[in-house]
Amino acid sequence: SEEIRHIVNDLISCARKHHYRVILTLDEELIPANIKGEDIYFATEIPHAWLFPQTSVIIHHGGAGTTGAAIMAGIPSIAIPFSADQFFWADRLDQLHVGPHSISASKVSPGTVDTVFAELKTGKDFYNRASQLGVLVRNERGLDNAVRSVQKIIEGEEVLV
């Protein structure tokens, strides 16, 4: 869509201004031709669990799965929500202070994006907070606990949630 092209253009311009390289997991036809370069890598599918821990910041749409993967990676993230539950997860990231303030997709502009990149470099404690939260989430073994609870339910045991 045209809105996505404008957002991508603004993100890439500001990332370059602040000397970030970018990995975009979008279909290449959504990428404006004028922004392509050696500092931009396009991929349609890369596992978040592998990619995110290798990055310095994650900018995403704010979906539940992507937000969870960003938190688990312990890397600061910024949500740009478009619809539905993405606004809830963006607000949650803001409450946790694990990245600069989220930007609604309808409010993305060169100025708002530039502010986000500048905040990343101003010494705010996003990196420490994100790292600490990532450790907490990884150590809670949520999936293992959920599987154990489901097994207990199947076996007829009482489960305290």
Reported as a single tens digit per residue, the pLDDT across 9-47 is 899 999 999 999 999 888 777 777 778 788 988 887 889
Amino acid at 102: S
In a 3-state reduction of DSSP, which class is residue 155?
coil
85, pLDDT greater than 90: yes
Closest C-alpha to 59, from 18, 102, 97, 27: 102
Q: How many CB atoms lie within 10 A of CB 24?
A: 18
In the block, which residue shows the tokens 């749409």?
Answer: 61
The predicted model scores a pTM of 0.85
CB 106 within 8 A of CB 55: no
pLDDT surpasses 90 at 6: no
Using CA atoms, how far apart are residues 119 and 124, in angstroms rounded to an integer?
7
